Chain A
């Protein structure tokens, strides 16, 4: 149980700076996910917390105590790696007991802790097996067990599910979530998969190019992305973006004109009245677009007409790619039974409250906050 504080953390290899001044406060028992595209510095940041990479500048503190100069073992952290990193020459029991043996813990305590971890993870029948005789999911469970046995202050996960197949990944994701509910430890988790981030995190840290783009609860990031990068990164399929030109204001909304001449009135926070510039972009998620017949849409605000170019059927839902007249293609999420065929003429109606506007620099125009969204995800210990 511990808090973790990063202040002004930099990482540079020679002249190449890969992490830029990261400030972050992680509360005791919080599950924080670092997410970003590959090469964004998220793993480097995690390794700096672990003590595997030197910290070029700034401070990492655990429970308020600076740990920059401490070795990984002295920091009281445990880490789970993408490649599992089990010792191939030791059996499951040996892998889990290894750290404690080195710490000089007595045999009986080691045995108790290993059996306890094995019980949590359902590894009891496998204790005498070698890593080679285990499946990928079992190996990752052993790696997690190795972390649990050490009773660390902070768990670090470095893309632990990326080597597993899709079905197993979903299953292990749930197990990790349950583990957090059971242990209530502080956990920091790195992934490039925004679904993992959304489902696991109390708070998500979105990184891009070594810079923190936004920190927030999954729902806050989804509904109030700070900029275009976060908006596109969170949510699947990704948000539709199209050029938009601001043409005026009305009743707390910004009116923009998109290619093809259609005008949409998007609610924005009054504080954004000063927002200027021409090259804005309009963002709207596929799930906030509705497909209707062209004549039924007449008169609905913001309705756009176009033709179906691709239909992706996922069973429960259908992704429709619609080429909007005079503008780009939009991806629309429709019902699973939507009777659409290639070339059909359709109208696409955006939910204007859910549309986002980004200025020329990619910054999101603040939206009127909705009280319901400011509630943090219910804590697991509630």
Chain B
């Protein structure tokens, strides 16, 4: 009896260890490129090529990449462009997505099922297939080289997934709590804003994190729709250090390292929301 128990404990310990080994290996693989970028951003050109895997200590340490980025080019503008585009798109995706999801989950109407499927189809069709048409449309609307063009495209790109996830979640919300708000005299808009939105905050945070990263990292649409100097985003701005014959690697890596920071900050904000949302209490226990 005792031996079989210790055997079981040992087996459990072993399997836990192997699971952790796999997870640690995965973490290392996933973090390695990021670490390499950050490490090498603190080195000069010679340091990067001489010892790409070495730490930026002693002679190889140099801030020339950062000075180049902060003095040359308009990186302040690029950063604010990226931030404006990301935040406004995120707001539109989350607000419109939640509103659409609320309607699909809450109300019975004839086209309900059709609309839900129509939204989901949007997930499967890559928006880039429509690039040429989008460009023509933006030219016709005189929106080329504006941040509005990017915001519109990203909102369209992010909505299907947001609607899909939020609808599924909203279907699980208690009907009683909305009915209770109706009896308390709230209008349907107020029910959405004051009762439903606070309840789905954790899911909103999840969708925000999912939607944010592709927008921030996108190179394609800024390159095509807004390549002007005033409307460049960070990812596009970095390209100026990549020349046809020479690449200023320390500047590229410094710019990329800086580009990580705002996303990290936004992520921190949303993940705190996420945790607070989960612990804020449910309908019944």
Contact = CB atoms under 8 A, between A and B. Distances in A.
B256 to A, nearest CB: 39
Best-surrounded residue of B181, B182, B199, B283 (most CB of chain A within 10 A): B283
A79 interface: yes
B18 interface: no
Interface in B161-181: 174, 176-177, 179-181
A369 B31 CA distance: 86
Given A85-B179, A85-B180, A132-B282, A102 B186 contact: yes
Interface in B256-285: 280-285
B284 A163 contact: yes
Q: How large is the interface on A (under 10, 10 to 19, 20 to 34, 35 or more residues)?
A: 20 to 34
B133 to A, nearest CB: 41
B182 A130 contact: no
B174 A83 contact: yes
A139 B183 contact: no
Interface in A76-97: 77-79, 81-89
A79 B182 CA distance: 10
A89 B198 contact: yes
Contact of A102 (B185, B280, B282, B283): B185
Interface residues of B, number: 21
B5 interface: no
A367 to B, nearest CB: 42
A71 B190 CA distance: 15
A82 B176 contact: yes
A83 B283 contact: yes
Given A71-B182, A72-B182, A131 B281 contact: yes
Contacts of B121: none
B281 A73 contact: no
Contacts of A348: none
Nearest to A103: B185
Contacts of B284: 83-84, 136, 139, 163
A213 to B, nearest CB: 27
A363 to B, nearest CB: 38
A81 B282 contact: no
A103 B184 CA distance: 9
A132 B199 CA distance: 13
B183 A83 contact: no
Interface string A43-82: 0000100111000000000000000000111000111011
Contact of B183 (A77, A131, A132, A136): A77
Top 9 A-B pairs ranked by shortest CB distance? Answer: A132-B281, A73-B185, A99-B184, A85-B176, A85-B180, A88-B281, A81-B176, A72-B183, A89-B198
29 contacts: A47-B179, A52-B179, A71-B182, A71-B185, A72-B185, A73-B182, A73-B185, A77-B183, A81-B180, A83-B174, A83-B176, A83-B284, A84-B283, A85-B174, A85-B176, A85-B283, A86-B177, A88-B199, A88-B281, A88-B283, A89-B280, A89-B281, A99-B184, A102-B185, A102-B190, A132-B285, A133-B281, A136-B284, A163-B284
